Amino acid sequence: MRLLDAILGRSTYSEQKASGASVLMTAFGSPDNEKILPSFMNSVAAYQNSGVVFGVVLARLGLFSEAELKFQRLSDKSLFGTPALAKLEVPWPGGSTAELLARMEQDVSLAGNAYIRDAGVNLERLRPDWVTIVSEIVIDPISDTEVRQVVGYVYDPPASEHRSAAFYPVDEVAHWSPIPDPIANFRGMSWLTPVLREIDADLQMTDYKRAYLTNAATPNLLIKYDKQIGRDKLERLKDQIEARHGGVNNAFRTLVLDEGADTSVLGNTFEQMQFSAVQAAGENRIAVAGGVPGIVAGLKEGMAAATYSNYEQAMRRFGDITMRPHWRGAATALSKLVVVPPGARLWYDISQVAALQQGDKERADAMLVLAEAAQALVVAGFTPESVTLALSAGDITLLKHSGLVSVQMQTPGQSPKEAA
């Protein structure tokens, strides 16, 4: 039996035919092969049916896909491009970097993992629930201890895709999993996993509103009679009332009762049960799990305190804490698919992302601070070129001194050349 068949559990496994790796099993948490959890389809259903989940994922996807991919020199942190980036700029016919990043973010949000394969001329997105991570035990040459490492990925689409299962070596697949799964070695976890119950509750509240409107847009009514009436008559009265008052189109019509009937309201109104507040609290917990401030996603609790300054602070938090680690991780994962120049790394460029740009006044104030800092550093003897690089990168270690100092720092009677 082929090793691929053993990984996929297609027939009884024979340990004698293994390749030196540990025994392969097909459980989701087995050590030798890891697949994403079955909750992926629940996440997809939530994405397709919950406006809150869709809005949070859309906010993440929209900002994440705005970045550009560049190379960064490790010496001075400057960004540059080469023809090697062409595969990331046009990953497939008609594709773009934005579409590549959007696909990766969507897969990470719903499945916790994104897999991008180098298919030769183009890149290929591997659907995460069809991928199995294959690992084995090896001996670390430095510590002489056993360690587990990934050896490749099995891609096994269903028969309807008319594509055979294939094994791709680890060097051919960029695997990005920003949130590690605590019960797996290499698999990632979706941020939706901890809030699936919140999502379910939000969907049920939506169903509750629909049922409220369907049933006359009023609370349930209890109709009481002061004397017993026959079952047949009771059923006729029920049908008449539902026909005349059921559904939103019949809401607010006058209810006329006879034969001593009396009505009582069952249940609470939206105001009495604080429906909006309860629903908003659930929405907020979903946004927190997604790392998206409520004001950015347009949720009720976020908009209640919305101001221009609050939005900028929220967007900065969104960019700094949620997106920057994602950009860094995605760039690191994709770096194996391109030829990175020596002394450089694949990095991200967000200088043109409008959402992260400061306002005109803040930008002018920041420019003034940088100008004053540049003047002080040049006067202190640092070279103008290194001052520009250090201030642009925010890294003071890039400063280089010219060897010249100001007159105030020279010994009296000493010439500048002697001081140098």
Does the pLDDT of residue 17 top 50, yes or no?
no
Calculate the alpha carbon distances from 414 to 379, 381, 410 in Å. 19, 17, 7
Cα angle value 4/5/6 (rounded, 5°): 90
Calculate the alpha carbon distances from 263 to 16, 219, 257, 272, 308 in Å. 77, 12, 9, 19, 50
**Could you tell me which of 264, 270, 3 has the C-alpha nearest to residue 151?**
3
Residue 123 forms part of a structural domain: yes
Same-domain pairing of 386 and 370: yes
Query: pLDDT at position 210, please?
Result: 72
Same-domain pairing of 242 and 158: no
Cα angle value 287/270/252 (rounded, 5°): 135
* pLDDT band at 108; cut points 50, 70, 90: very high
Q: Which residue has the tokens 């916790």?
A: 112
**pLDDT tens for each residue of 56-82:** 999 999 999 999 999 999 988 899 999
Query: pLDDT at position 55, please?
Result: 92
Residue 214 forms part of a structural domain: yes
Lowest mean pLDDT among 6-15, 191-200, 221-230: 6-15
- Mean pLDDT score, 230-244: 77
Does the pLDDT of residue 270 top 70, yes or no?
no
**Could you tell me which of 114, 119, 149 has the C-alpha nearest to residue 131?**
114
Which of 177, 193, 209 is where one domain is finished?
A: 193
Query: How far is CA 162 from its chain centroid?
Result: 31
Query: pLDDT at position 21, please?
Result: 37
Q: Are 299 and 283 in contact (CB under 8 A)?
A: yes
Largest Cα span, the chain: 121
* pLDDT band at 1; cut points 50, 70, 90: very low
231 or 305, greater pLDDT: 231
Q: Would strands 173-176 and 114-118 be described as parallel, antiparallel, or unpaired?
A: antiparallel
* pLDDT band at 391; cut points 50, 70, 90: confident
Same-domain pairing of 142 and 215: no
- Mean pLDDT score, 33-60: 89
Same-domain pairing of 154 and 220: no
Query: pLDDT at position 418, please?
Result: 56
Which of 148, 176, 193 is where one domain is finished?
A: 193
Query: pLDDT at position 127, please?
Result: 96
Same-domain pairing of 205 and 150: no
Same-domain pairing of 79 and 111: yes
Lowest mean pLDDT among 16-20, 313-317, 335-339, 340-344: 16-20
Residue 238 forms part of a structural domain: yes
297 or 215, greater pLDDT: 297
Query: pLDDT at position 408, please?
Result: 62
Residue 297 forms part of a structural domain: no
* pLDDT band at 98; cut points 50, 70, 90: very high
Q: Judge residue 371's burial from the number of C-beta atoms within 10 Å of its C-beta, 0-12 exposed, 13-18 middle, 19 or more buried.
A: exposed
Does the pLDDT of residue 14 top 60, yes or no?
no
Q: What is the percentage of the chain residues whose pLDDT exceeds 70?
A: 74
Residue 307 forms part of a structural domain: no
Domains of the chain: total: 3
Same-domain pairing of 142 and 155: yes
- Mean pLDDT score, 200-216: 71
**pLDDT tens for each residue of 121-153:** 999 999 999 999 999 998 888 888 888 999 999
- Mean pLDDT score, 278-307: 76
Residue 107 forms part of a structural domain: yes
Tell me how far apart the alpha carbons of residues 159 and 14 are, in angstroms, rounded to a whole number: 25
* pLDDT band at 199; cut points 50, 70, 90: confident
Cα angle value 188/189/190 (rounded, 5°): 130
Residue 18 forms part of a structural domain: yes
Query: pLDDT at position 301, please?
Result: 64
Same-domain pairing of 102 and 29: yes
Q: Are 316 and 335 in contact (CB under 8 A)?
A: no
Does the pLDDT of residue 22 top 50, yes or no?
no
Same-domain pairing of 57 and 160: yes
Instruction: Tell me the pTM.
Output: 0.71
Q: What is the mean pLDDT of the chain?
A: 81
Query: pLDDT at position 155, please?
Result: 96
| 200 contacts: CB under 8 Å, gap ≥ 6 | none
Q: Are 181 and 187 in contact (CB under 8 A)?
A: yes
* pLDDT band at 234; cut points 50, 70, 90: confident
For the chain, give percent helix, strand, coil, nearest 5.
Answer: 50, 15, 35
* Most confident region among 27-36, 201-210, 294-303, 340-349 by mean pLDDT: 340-349
Query: How far is CA 221 from its chain centroid?
Result: 45
Same-domain pairing of 30 and 60: yes
**pLDDT tens for each residue of 359-371:** 555 667 778 888 8
14 or 225, greater pLDDT: 225
Query: pLDDT at position 386, please?
Result: 87
* pLDDT band at 90; cut points 50, 70, 90: very high
Same-domain pairing of 145 and 18: yes
Q: Are 70 and 348 in contact (CB under 8 A)?
A: yes
Tell me how far apart the alpha carbons of residues 46 and 202 are, in angstroms, rounded to a whole number: 10
Q: Quick one: DSSP state of residue 318?
A: I
**pLDDT tens for each residue of 334-347:** 999 999 999 999 99
Which of 129, 162, 193 is where one domain is finished?
A: 193
Q: Are 164 and 186 in contact (CB under 8 A)?
A: no
Query: DSSP string spanning 238-254?
Result: HHHHHHHH-SGGGTTPP
Calculate the alpha carbon distances from 273 to 20, 210, 334 in Å. 62, 16, 50
Query: pLDDT at position 81, please?
Result: 94
Please count the residues of the chain: 420
Q: Are 345 and 304 in contact (CB under 8 A)?
A: no
Same-domain pairing of 34 and 49: yes
Tell me how far apart the alpha carbons of residues 330 and 341 are, in angstroms, rounded to a whole number: 18
Does the pLDDT of residue 24 top 60, yes or no?
no
Range of the domain at 186: 3-193
Tell me how far apart the alpha carbons of residues 261 and 257 are, in angstroms, rounded to a whole number: 6
Put residue 217 in one of left, alpha, beta given phi > 0 → left and psi -120 to 50 → alpha. left
Query: How far is CA 21 from its chain centroid?
Result: 33
| 39 contacts: CB under 8 Å, gap ≥ 6 | 190, 193, 196
Residue 310 forms part of a structural domain: no
